[in-house]
Amino acid sequence: MPVGVLFAIGAYSIYSGGDAIIKGFGTTLSVFEIGFFVALFSLLPALFAKPKAERWRDAFQLTRPGLVHLRSFSGVMSSLLVTYAFVHIPFAETYSLVFMMPLFITVFSVVLLKESVGLTRWAMLLIGFCGVMLVVRPGFRDLELGHMAALACAVFGAISTTVLRVVAGDEKRVSLIALPALYLIVATGVLMLPGFIMPSPAQFALLALSGSLVGMGHILLIAATRNAPANQVAPIQYIQILWAIGLGSYFYSEHPDALAYVGMAVVTMSGLVNVLLDGARARIAGRYAEYRARQGTSPTDIAEVQGPEI
């Protein structure tokens, strides 16, 4: 097994552990207070992720400031919304709704980035949506604000990812790491003040642990992407649904019914197929480019570089 895949397993497992701790706070602390301390402590491990060639003081030297600030804002919103969802609805249901993010990313990529998407991918995304409906079952039971929060988190997460695709090649990594964290700390720090409750020593320790786990997960995910292709790393994120089932059952007595298990399996299957399609397309594009290079010709259209639509 590639070492990058092992890093990815560790990263997404650690993320799930940090999320499970957040859920344990319930309503004893505000969402803003939880978000503030988790973001603050997540910076400690993230400090080691800075590239040696970059300096933290250069974080505000931006090439496309509007888009970077948009990504930072969407990151704040997705973080607050998912924290609210973790606290108010079952763990596995939160993950299932958040995993609708690929659907929104695809829509944004078509509408905003003018990318073309094959019918197979649209079909898999539709199947994934049906899986989420099996888990949540709107119309057959009352939906809570937590469900809406998790869905909105998927939308804002998709915005953040789409913007990152646009600016990643132009901005320094310190900018992409530091600014979203700074946005989150400042926003949650201000919003938590009116209802601030001093955490107990035990709560403070758990907040520190959760934030540190998030930061460690970030470092491991960076290591994973450096040591394995994206199409091998991306499928590992669906291990979080398994962690959600196990942790939710063991710590919070959350036991999904049979139909919910079917829905989660459908969500996972559709996501994995989409990732595998991406990997197949990348391999075809690479081989096609090699073929054109051997023929001594250069492609005249970007579609030729990308390879056929799958």
Crossing angle (nearest 10°) for helices 258-295 and 239-252 = 160
Residue 143, token pair as written in the block: 């939906």
Q: How much is the pLDDT for 257?
A: 85
State whether residue 189 is helix, strand or coil. Answer: helix
Continuous H helices in the chain: 3-24, 31-46, 65-88, 91-98, 101-111, 119-136, 145-167, 173-192, 201-227, 230-233, 239-252, 258-295, 302-306
pLDDT class of 79 with cuts at 50, 70, 90: very high
Asked if pLDDT for residue 243 goes beyond 80, the answer is yes
Name the residue with higher pLDDT: 288 or 157.
157
Lowest mean pLDDT among 8-22, 76-90, 165-179, 249-263: 165-179
pLDDT at 212: 92
The full set of domain ranges for the chain reads 3-306
pLDDT at 308: 31
Mean pLDDT, all residues of the chain: 81
Listed in sequence order, the residues at least 6 apart from 237 whose beta carbon sits closer than 8 Å to its beta carbon are 8, 12, 271
Report the phi/psi class of residue 204: left, alpha or beta, with left for phi > 0 and alpha for psi in -120 to 50.
alpha
Q: For 269-296, what is each residue's pLDDT tens digit?
A: 887 777 666 655 555 545 444 445 555 5
Beta bridge mates, 141: 138
Of 120-129, 168-177, 208-217, 301-310, minimum mean pLDDT range: 301-310
Predicted pLDDT at 230: 62
Whole-number Å distance between alpha carbons of 224 and 143 = 37
- Most confident listed range (46-55, 89-98, 108-117, 228-237): 89-98
Higher-pLDDT residue of 169 and 81 is 81
CA distance readout (Å), 262 to 128, 143, 243, 259, 294: 11, 19, 16, 5, 48
> Nearest-CA neighbor of 174 among 62, 29, 25?
62
Q: Are 115 and 109 in contact (CB under 8 A)?
A: yes
pLDDT tops 50 at residue 142: yes
Model confidence over 57-70: pLDDT tens digits? Answer: 777 888 888 999 99
Residue-level pLDDT at 280: 55
The sign one gets for the Cα dihedral 285, 291, 293, 296 is negative
The per-residue pLDDT for 76 is: 92
Report in angstroms the alpha-carbon separations of 271 from 93, 121, 125, 241.
16, 10, 8, 12
DSSP codes of every residue in 250-283: HHH-----HHHHHHHHHHHHHHHHHHHHHHHHHH
Longest dimension (CA), the chain: 69
What single letter denotes the amino acid at residue 21? I
pLDDT over 50 (residue 299) = no
According to the model, what pLDDT value does residue 283 have? 53
Q: What is the pLDDT of residue 96?
A: 86
Least confident of 5-14, 93-102, 300-309: 300-309
Predicted confidence at residue 2, as pLDDT, reads 72
Looking up tokens 């998030």 gives 214
The pTM (predicted TM-score) of the whole model is 0.79
Amino acid, res. 82: V
Percent of the chain with pLDDT over 70: 83
